[in-house]
Amino acid sequence: MKPSFYPYELQNRSSSVATKSLAQVPTVSCPRGTVPILQDRKGDITNFEGFHTMDGPSGELAVIKTVDDIYGSRVSINVYEPKVKEKTEDLSASWVLMLNKENASRMESVGVGSVVWPAFSGDNFARLHINWRDNTRDALCYDHRCPGFVHVNSRIGLGSKIQPVSVYNGPQHFIDVLLFKDPNTKNWWFLLGGAPVGYWPSSIFTHLKDKVTEAAWGGQVYGPTVQSNFPEMGSGHFAWEGFGKAAYVSNIKIVRENNKYYTPDTDSTFVRSTRPCCYAIDNYGQDEGGMHLYYGGPGDCSNNCNR
């Protein structure tokens, strides 16, 4: 029901997160031994073939990316509700994605974040979603749509609305996410605000049961009509507008094999926007909390630039 060991610093950090994190998901009180599972979503989408590539013909991203031997990551994700056109299968996400690319033909991954996805949820709210790709599938799974993720929290439901969300030039809200591999069980855990939500058993992975080889934090838009509709990303405003106006990811650290937190090595870390005239990146840097980045844009830019 909980990890056997936490990465070093987590205990000190989680107590402050519990009192200072302003964005949360509504909690419920399920009976002991049960967990909440959302039943009111449209559920038109079961998976996206190729979604694990993160960008390409059907997607754009603006992220910090690091390539290393990684055993976990923590990040504070600024939560907005970017506009995504309805009656499409497109999404706009702010999240952490962790992949193992040692076998290009059988890539494995886990991810968590805030996602606006009308075709999946039936509305335009920012919701908490997880995704993963294990050793049996060629596409990502989401939440409880296929077996694999073991949900242990009786109060936090996957797919729940994140509230409150940030307001342009107003109050800013974020969620704190931790993904890490339990050094004993080899299971990959997801914690929200210091609270264990659930884990992916090591048995569903081949390479990921060892480590992650690549991680990315930031914004992503994806879907079959992204290249013609270009959804908003982040706050819907460009990254250079800065705090209170542009979305950010901050306090980024990775977990190494010794189960301790480290700021990613700058020699193996870079920032990337696949379409910078639509989705900008700015103010990439480091502080005592880790790495940070502003990102995003208004979309609707098909006439402004070419790939």
CB count within 10 Å of CB 173 equals 20
Q: What is the average pLDDT across 41-69?
A: 69
| 44 against 269, higher pLDDT | 269
| 276 against 305, higher pLDDT | 276
Q: Using alpha carbons, list the distances in angstroms from residue 279 to 30, 83, 90, 232.
A: 41, 14, 16, 8
pLDDT at 50: 44
Three-state helix/strand/coil letters over 220-260: EEECCCHHHHCCCECCCCCHHHCCCCCEEEEEEEEECCCCC
User: Does 244 have pLDDT greater than 80?
Assistant: yes
CB count within 10 Å of CB 150 equals 15
At residue 22 the predicted structure's pLDDT band, cuts being 50, 70 and 90, is low
pLDDT at 29: 82
pLDDT at 17: 38
Q: What is the average pLDDT across 112-140?
A: 91
The first and second tokens of residue 281, run together, are 């990146």
Q: Looking at the domain assignment, is residue 152 inside a domain?
A: yes
Q: Are 109 and 133 in contact (CB under 8 A)?
A: yes
The first and second tokens of residue 23, run together, are 């964005």
DSSP string across 259-278: S-EEPPPGGGEEEEESSTTT
Give how many domains the chain has, as a whole number. Answer: 1
At residue 163 the predicted structure's pLDDT band, cuts being 50, 70 and 90, is very high
Give the whole-number percent of the chain exceeding pLDDT 70: 87
| CA contacts within 13 A on the Cβ side of 239 | 26
Range of the domain at 189: 20-29+47-297
Average pLDDT, the chain: 87
DSSP string across 65-114: EEEEEESEEEEEEE-------SSS--EEEEEEEEEE-SSTTS-EEEEEEE
pLDDT at 15: 37
Q: Looking at the domain assignment, is residue 1 inside a domain?
A: no
Q: Looking at the domain assignment, is residue 35 inside a domain?
A: no
Q: Looking at the domain assignment, is residue 74 inside a domain?
A: yes
Q: Are 89 and 65 in contact (CB under 8 A)?
A: no
Q: Using alpha carbons, list the distances in angstroms from residue 206 to 83, 209, 298.
A: 37, 6, 39
Q: Looking at the domain assignment, is residue 6 inside a domain?
A: no
Give the whole-number percent of the chain exceeding pLDDT 90: 63
Name the maximum alpha-carbon separation found in the chain: 55
- Beta pairing, strands 212-222 & 59-70: antiparallel
Q: Looking at the domain assignment, is residue 67 inside a domain?
A: yes
Q: Are 296 and 238 in contact (CB under 8 A)?
A: yes
Q: What is the average pLDDT across 44-66?
A: 67
- CATH classification at residue 252: 2.60.120
At residue 57 the predicted structure's pLDDT band, cuts being 50, 70 and 90, is low
Provide the whole-model pTM: 0.90
Q: Looking at the domain assignment, is residue 96 inside a domain?
A: yes
- List Cβ neighbours of 61 (8 Å cut-off, separation of 6 or more): 54, 55, 216, 218, 219, 220, 221, 272, 273, 274, 279
The three-state secondary structure class of 216 is strand
Q: Looking at the domain assignment, is residue 10 inside a domain?
A: no
